[in-house]
Amino acid sequence: MPVFPSRFRPAMSFLIAMAAATPAFAAPAIDAAQLAAGEKAFAQCKACHSIEKGARDGVGPNLYGVYGAKAGAHSATFKYSAAMKASGQTWNDATLNSFLLAPMKAMPGTKMTYGGVKDDTKRAALVYYLKVKSAE
């Protein structure tokens, strides 16, 4: 430890003690029940999408890492609609919730012709699942 003038030692000791007692930026705890509900909700999405890192696009893009990504730019190999590319959206809780409720209403011109997840609880679980899986 560097040597500090004696007048700084009490303050330095306090700062070192505080740093040692403060947990490092811990990741938030994962809600296992919500994650399981989201995985169950994602089962119907698997007809068109994958969510595993490195998996290929299907009818729809691979959704690994979608949370926090720009709409229409997240998969380098998927051919997104012009509407998706021009949307300027970033996928977060609010934008995913809106899009998954009614994709064609939320983004007219999207290739995703799915009718949406109408159940608020299932949709919230699905957004949570996408968020957690994107961070793995």
Strand partners, 52: none
Question: Total structural domains in the chain?
Answer: 1
Q: In the predicted model, is pLDDT for residue 26 greater than 80?
A: no
Kindly report, residue by residue over 55-105, the tens digit of the pLDDT: 999 999 999 999 999 999 999 999 999 999 999 999 999 999 999 999 999
Residue 12 lies in a domain: no
pLDDT band at 19 (very low <50, low <70, confident <90, very high): low
Q: What is the CATH number of the domain that holds 74?
A: 1.10.760.10
Residue 11 lies in a domain: no
Residue 26 lies in a domain: no
**What span, in angstroms and rounded, lies between the C-alpha atoms of 104 and 96?**
13
Listed range (23-27, 58-62, 120-124) with the worst mean pLDDT:
23-27
Residue 83 lies in a domain: yes
How much of the chain, in percent, has pLDDT values that exceed 70?
Answer: 79
Residue 81 lies in a domain: yes
Q: Residue 52 is part of which domain span?
A: 32-135
How much of the chain, in percent, has pLDDT values that exceed 90?
Answer: 76
Nearest to 129 by CA among 41, 28, 26: 41
Residue 6 lies in a domain: no
- What are the CA-CA distances from residue 60 to residues 34, 50, 111 (Å)? 24, 8, 8
Q: In the predicted model, is pLDDT for residue 46 greater than 70?
A: yes
Residue 66 confidence (pLDDT): 97
Residue 55 lies in a domain: yes
What value does the mean pLDDT of the chain take?
A: 88
Residue 42 lies in a domain: yes
Residue 7 confidence (pLDDT): 61
pLDDT band at 136 (very low <50, low <70, confident <90, very high): confident
Residue 100 confidence (pLDDT): 98
Q: How far is CA 29 from the centre of its chain?
A: 15
DSSP codes, 3-56: ---GGGHHHHHHHHHHHHHSPPSPPPPP-HHHHHHHHHHHTTGGGT---STTPP
Residue 61 confidence (pLDDT): 97
Q: How far is CA 112 from the centre of its chain?
A: 19
